[in-house]
Structure 1
Amino acid sequence: MKSFGFIFAIFIAIGIAYLFPQGIELLPLKTITDIGIGLIFFFYGLKLYPTEFKAGLVNYKVHIIIHLTTFIVFPLLCLLCAPLFEDGLRSDLWIALFFLGTLPSTVSSSVVMVALAKGNLPTAIFNASLSGLIGIFATPLWIGFILEKTADFDFLIVLQKLCLQIIAPLAAGLFLQRYFGDLARRYGRQLSLFDKTTIILIIYSSFSSSFSSALLRSIEISELLKMTGIVIILFFTIFFSLAYFSKILGFNREDKIAAQFCGTKKSLVHGSVMVRVIFGSSASSGLLLLPIMLYHSAQLILIAWFAEKYRKRATAK
């Protein structure tokens, strides 16, 4: 329910951005969100669980299939969707969809849902944490590879911003984890609230830019419905494919749940942050967040339903 409250707050922020597209002049939103991004990854480094991270390390088959799905299969499936858009690889809507496909898995909701479904929790913690670390490099690489061929995109500038806003704070958090890690985990709820507040501000700022340029208003309802259909089909394709390959590889029930739940998730937090780092305050930033928000809403509802279904089966046995 807290996750759905977060989604509700996001749509309120979009509504305010629609009503006040010029932004709230009293607040230096760019400075606030830039600092917030750095703090998100600093706290992310502080909160990593080294013992549980190590406990999940040995289950390498599950790790391989999850990360291959997250960072290879998902982007390739999005690449195959390019002919569905009028301008193909140059379509802003397709680029937004492809950006979704390159993102890492979520951390908190993956772990919570795997726990609810009675899956392999150490494996989920390991993969969710590692996915966020891999995504810091994989997402910009994928985007750079595509956009350098279709648009004016300077990967070196993005790499500099990436190091300054994400990698340096993350490294500082990992270094200080032994001293302040327990304290950060103790106040995890408060830090999670800070993360969500920063994301809402980024979303508000991004949609303000898009509404100011009238970019989002140019999207037809049919295009929005098509995007919704595509992200739902992508979810079920990945979810049931992971179930099929988990069976072929001989995974037990707990590992299968971890693979399905971690392999299908995409992180709205990383997506919002990466939009700001890679694309800055461009007019298309709101559009780029559209598939992520659609997918995030769908994955929460669908994974929660599947988690409850798995939990009832485990309880019955």
Structure 2
Amino acid sequence: MKLPKVDPYVLALLATVTLASIFPVRGETAAYVATAAKLVVGFLFFLHGAKLSREAVISGITHWRLHLTVLSISFVLFPILGLLITLTPEAILPKSMSVGILFLCCLPSTVQASIAFTSIARGNVAAAVCSASASNLFAMVATPALVGLLMHVQGAGLGWEAVQAILVQLLLPFIAGQLLRPWLIGLLQKHSRIIGVVDRGSVLIVVYSAFSAAVAGGVWSRIAIPALIATAVVCAVLLAVVLIATRAIAQGLKFDKADEITIVFCGSKKSLVTGAPMAAILFAPAVAGLMIIPLMLFHQMQLMACAVIAQKYAGRPNPESGTT
């Protein structure tokens, strides 16, 4: 079996980090870039609000067992594993990286990747659409709450400024998109690539802004190559544990194979598209750059692992035709 190719987007992320490391923006320019990132992220959530069908959300509620399972994995199991990882001695994993992994564990599932892999594996695509979307909607409240509770952001909890930023930059644009959906959905369907471009472009801008601030704060003097290798190993172990756990949970709860596939792919992923903006909102600029390093590593690993798993699921006998 051929190994999956490196996602070109991951190469773009690496190039962005390299560019920010060599040519970081500072002063007024950094403020302009940060403002641009906020505007693009707001536009991204506006587009997601306009794209998401209310009918799909309503129909998805009927499969509450599956959605509750995925949400429990994303916002209960993952954070517990993240807390355990923070107990790793600093001699093995620096505190900045273990906290970054804990932040990763508080994020929602991906949307496009979860649906795409579920489709390839012949899983319950309709449930994947609803479950991944519900995870991202729930995250607007759950992620800041978990970060405030588990990481003690801004002292003894989540400050009002962070909550206000989430509301203004993410939730309000999403609601506006929902309200304007009847007038925009035709245009978005005709130009469906717009959301993908904004998705990926917004993350690149956020990553560049965050890493510029991190470089200005001396990020590379605080992270050595052994620390990056240790972070990659821990992320790989975390992904393996969750992939095994999601399948075991689905089978233990007697879901059929199509639903099991949906739970595995929706439950095991973490969203870089949501995580990068969240980090920029919840943390100081220099800290945000550190927070997204484990997320970028985990992002590539989950794509590679799930590509292989999806092909294995797709190769199972088809009960409708009796063939593979």
The correspondence for 1:265, drawn from 269, 272, 275, is: 269
* Alpha-carbon distance between aligned partners in 2 of 1:177 and 1:3, rounded to the nearest angstrom: 35
* Alpha-carbon distance between aligned partners in 2 of 1:236 and 1:314, rounded to the nearest angstrom: 25
1:9-50 per-residue CA deviation (whole Å, 9 max, x = no partner) reads 111111111111235949921221111111111111001023
> Which one-letter code corresponds to 2:277 in the other structure?
V
The residue aligned with 2:204 is: 200
Structure 1 runs of 4+ aligned residues shifted over 6 Å read none
1:1-317 equivalence runs, <5 A: 4-22=7-25, 25=29, 28-86=32-90, 91-148=95-152, 151=155, 154-280=158-284, 282-314=285-317, 316-317=323-324
CA contact (8 A) 1:216 1:287 kept: no
Q: Which deviates the most, 266-275 or 237-246?
A: 237-246
State the TM-score, normalizing by the size of structure 2: 0.91
1:108 to partner: Cα distance: 0.6
1:56 to partner: Cα distance: 2.8
Report the aligned-residue RMSD.
2.4
Q: Which deviates the most, 292-301 or 247-256?
A: 247-256
* Alpha-carbon distance between aligned partners in 2 of 1:263 and 1:47, rounded to the nearest angstrom: 22
Q: Which deviates the most, 125-134 or 227-236?
A: 227-236
* Alpha-carbon distance between aligned partners in 1 of 2:235 and 2:316, rounded to the nearest angstrom: 28
CA contact (8 A) 1:45 1:173 kept: yes
Percent identity of paired positions between Structure 1 and Structure 2 = 28
1:211-259 per-residue CA deviation (whole Å, 9 max, x = no partner) reads 1121233212222111111111111111111111211211111000000
1:275-307 per-residue CA deviation (whole Å, 9 max, x = no partner) reads 111114x21211100010000000000001111
State the TM-score, normalizing by the size of structure 1: 0.93
1:166-191 per-residue CA deviation (whole Å, 9 max, x = no partner) reads 11111111111223223223322122
Q: Which deviates the most, 297-306 or 142-151?
A: 142-151
1:130-183 per-residue CA deviation (whole Å, 9 max, x = no partner) reads 011011111110111133388476521101111111111111111112232232
* Alpha-carbon distance between aligned partners in 1 of 2:87 and 2:37, rounded to the nearest angstrom: 35
CA contact (8 A) 1:266 1:296 kept: yes
